[in-house]
Amino acid sequence: MCGIVGYVGPREVVPLLIAGLRRLEYRGYDSAGVAVVCDGALETRRAEGKLDRLVERLAEQPVSGSYGVAHTRWATHGKPTERNAHPVVDSKNRIAIIHNGIIENFLAIKRRLMGEGWTFATDTDTEVIANLVSSYYTGDLAAAVKRAVGELEGMYACALIGTGGTDADGHAIEEIVAVRQGTPLVLGLGKGESFLASDPAALIAHTRDVIFLDNGDIARLTRSQIEIWDRSGAAVQRPVTRLNWDPQQVEKGGYKHFMLKEIHEQPQAARDTFGGRVDFETGKIGFDALELAPDYVRSLSRIQLLACGTSWHAAHIGKFLIEEMARIPVEVDYASEYRYRDPIVDASVLVAGISQSGETIDTVWAMEAAKERGARLIALSNVPGSQATRISSGTLYTHAGPEIGVASTKAFTTQLVAFYLLALYLRQQLGREVELELLAPLAHLPQAISEA
Ligand code: GLU
């Protein structure tokens, strides 16, 4: 789940942005970066991996400024590398953007912009927004963003800074332009300073007066004011909310209880689960910790899914998906029954243990029973290093994050996403085409869940 922070005001921006990102660190991410405008030029620093890597980079190559944006990325389009880290800059080096979300029609826009001579230096969908906005930018960033978002389909919360805007007296304008469609974005009001973030937790140290943007809203933040326009372009006032949150509430993101919070985290968790694993340009699917050679997949007689409880329900849907997409027969077994009978399983069977925690003891023991009989094991789990993953030859991780509510929500939905990916992956390894039409619903899924 990615994090967004922005600041414009009298304070030194970089330490403030890094402190904001730290508040969002618990969500997990694969790279981080900041962009500021310094003496009229855009400066970005980005690093793969943990926030500390970015902090080290900033110590080697310091930057300063009084406004800027920062991001922690959880890749959906393009590998989690420094090259693909945000902020992303347009090919004329005039605009830097941070983005949380997915642009579903990025490929069509990218092809069109390439035809017009725009170049692309990353594999992200975000870069099409940077170039599209830049193509409309003549000094009024908010106007360019308004025009560009009319062409975007998908879910996004973005914040942009640009060079080139001047006020009536010819002074460079210090501003951040933000837009929200589907993914969260909250603005913070200070005295002579303005903030934005994907989660109020990143703002609460500085201000408790916040504005939650509506879908389709575009905001322009300067030191002294925040202007907001709705989707139609009309100037609007959104209510200022005073957050009187205690530390527990900050942890629960303002929701009444964790389960409600986790229900609302499903779009993001689903996205995090397919993020970085699907190439939406070529249709290729791949995982970090799981590889099944084409010859091996072709040799399989069947697949057994072993699970208990919620995971067992997910496995039944997994069976339908795998059989439909890959045409390999699938059996679902209740792990606690499997281990007490004499299951028919051998080296021609791929056995997948499904367990959110990776520690469900019946599932782990059932997996071991299958392994003893010669089957190859894989795990489908949310927890790296857990037992189920350690005894397996590979793991397909769900990226649900911690689930605190007892009744499963996002852990279950991410298992379904993982099964969809697994089914498509098996199809690919069998040499069958994974049509882009099979991937488009995946890119749309976070939005569909959030509408539901
Ligand atoms: N889709 C964008 C990317 O892959 C944003 C990912 C995020 O929200 O962190 O770079």
Residue 62 clears pLDDT 90, i.e. is over it:
yes
CA 59 to centroid of ligand 1, rounded, Å: 26
Is the CB–ligand 1 distance for residue 2 below 6 Å?
yes
| Res 352: pLDDT | 98
Output the CA angle 32-35-37, nearest 5 degrees: 170
Strand order in the sheet with 376-381: 330-334, 302-307, 349-355, 376-381, 394-397
Mutate to test the pocket of ligand 1, among 48, 103, 126, 129 (most ligand atoms within 8 A of CB): 126
Nearest to 391 by CA among 375, 374, 371: 371
Is the CB–ligand 1 distance for residue 102 below 6 Å?
yes
Please give the number of the atom of ligand 1 that sits closest to the Cα of 275: 4
Residue 278 clears pLDDT 90, i.e. is over it:
yes
Residue 384 clears pLDDT 90, i.e. is over it:
no
User: DSSP secondary-structure letter at 214?
Assistant: P
Q: Distance of CA 125 to CAs 107, 153, 280, 435, Å?
A: 8, 11, 9, 19
| Res 199: pLDDT | 85
- What the block records as the tokens of 350 is 């791929």
| Res 273: pLDDT | 95
> Ligand 1: which residue has its CA nearest to atom 6?
75
Over residues 15-57, the pLDDT tens digits come to 999 999 998 887 678 999 999 998 888 999 999 999 999 999 9
CA 1 to centroid of ligand 1, rounded, Å: 9
Mean pLDDT, residues 186-206 taken together: 92
- What the block records as the tokens of 200 is 């109020």
Lowest mean pLDDT, pick from 122-136, 195-209, 332-346: 195-209
Over residues 145-186, the pLDDT tens digits come to 999 999 999 989 999 999 877 777 777 789 999 999 988 899
Please give the number of the atom of ligand 1 that sits closest to the Cα of 74: 9
* CA–CA gap between residue 145 and residue 179 (Å, rounded): 8
Is the CB–ligand 1 distance for residue 145 below 6 Å?
no
| Res 300: pLDDT | 98
Nearest to 113 by CA among 101, 129, 124: 129
Helix ranges, 116-162 (H): 126-135, 141-149
Task: Return the half-sphere exposure (C-beta side, CA atoms, 13 A cut-off) of residue 263.
Answer: 10
Residue 424 clears pLDDT 80, i.e. is over it:
yes
Mutate to test the pocket of ligand 1, among 25, 74, 198 (most ligand atoms within 8 A of CB): 74
* CA–CA gap between residue 331 and residue 293 (Å, rounded): 21
| Res 1: pLDDT | 55
| Res 186: pLDDT | 92
CA 27 to centroid of ligand 1, rounded, Å: 14
Mutate to test the pocket of ligand 1, among 1, 2, 88 (most ligand atoms within 8 A of CB): 2
| Res 247: pLDDT | 66
Helix ranges, 348-409 (H): 361-372, 387-390
CA 390 to centroid of ligand 1, rounded, Å: 30
Contact 354, 314 (CB under 8 A): yes
Helix ranges, 284-372 (H): 294-299, 309-326, 335-338, 361-372
- What the block records as the tokens of 182 is 């589907």
Residue 101 clears pLDDT 70, i.e. is over it:
yes
